[in-house]
Amino acid sequence: MKQVAPKEPEQAEELFVTFANTLSYSRGRPVEGLPDIDALLSWLREQGLISDRARASEAGRLHRDVPEAERRMERFQMLRTLLHETAEEMTSTGQPSAEQLRALNHILRHGLHYHQLRHDPDATRYTLAQVGDRLDQARATIASSFAQLLADDASDRLRVCANEGCRWIFVDHSPTGRRRWCDMRTCGNQAKVARHRARAKARAMPPVHGVPPVQASV
Ligand SMILES: [Zn+2]
């Protein structure tokens, strides 16, 4: 019986998924979607994680302090690596490792922020100021979208694309929960073509000394 892949329902993608896939893979080679601090700040702005004003002021500050810009980049890259590694771990063992959980909680804790009332120098009015590091807050917001998936008991819907050269992360929202590829038209189709080729090759090569030909697994 021919099976038709269910159409993906229209659904907003989880923030952590969008962020994790800023590092994508093309035939197994990494493709960096956030190559510098400006790209990172623009991405955070696009996602509504920082304001336009914050983006401009962080850009100014980090252009003047290159080592600090590198440290900030590293913090986000660390989260992205953690998301990829945790997704791999969860798709094979069903849950994150204790160390991965600790790392995630560490990031959540560093996004701590609070509001504080401040009195004007002339003591005529109060203003409400947000205290905390805005980039660490943005990073914690991404991390918490991932933490929410675990808290919602939906971790069994987390997938890493079955195409080895792709490794795209996604959450399977299909009713059957049997989606294996990030995109049926690209990766799913590639897998079908590869299976077809392997079968054709196996037919073309007759078995030697009665040993059956090795079937390439996809
Ligand atoms: Zn894929």
Q: What is the pLDDT of residues 57-87, one digit of tens each?
A: 999 999 999 999 999 999 999 999 999 999 9
Is 209 domain-assigned? no
* pLDDT at position 97 over 80: yes
Is 26 domain-assigned? yes
**How much distance in Å is there from the Cα of 169 to the middle of ligand 1?**
8
pLDDT of 108 reads 96
In total, how many domains does the chain have?
A: 1
- Burial string for 191-213 (b: 16+ CB within 10 Å, else e) reads beeeeeebeeeeeeeeeeeeeee
Is 187 domain-assigned? yes
Is 25 domain-assigned? yes
pTM of the complete model: 0.79
Average confidence (pLDDT) over 6-31: 83
**How much distance in Å is there from the Cα of 35 to the middle of ligand 1?**
22
Average confidence (pLDDT) over 99-124: 90
The domain that holds 199 is classified in CATH as: 1.10.3300.10
**How much distance in Å is there from the Cα of 183 to the middle of ligand 1?**
6
* pLDDT at position 170 over 80: yes
Is 136 domain-assigned? yes
Is 153 domain-assigned? yes
CB atoms within 10 A of CB 85: 15
**How much distance in Å is there from the Cα of 170 to the middle of ligand 1?**
9
Is 1 domain-assigned? no
- Characterize the bridge pairing of strands 23-26 and 29-32: antiparallel
* pLDDT at position 215 over 60: no
Is 29 domain-assigned? yes
φ, ψ of residue 24 to 5 degrees: the values are -115, 175
Domain that holds residue 23: 15-204
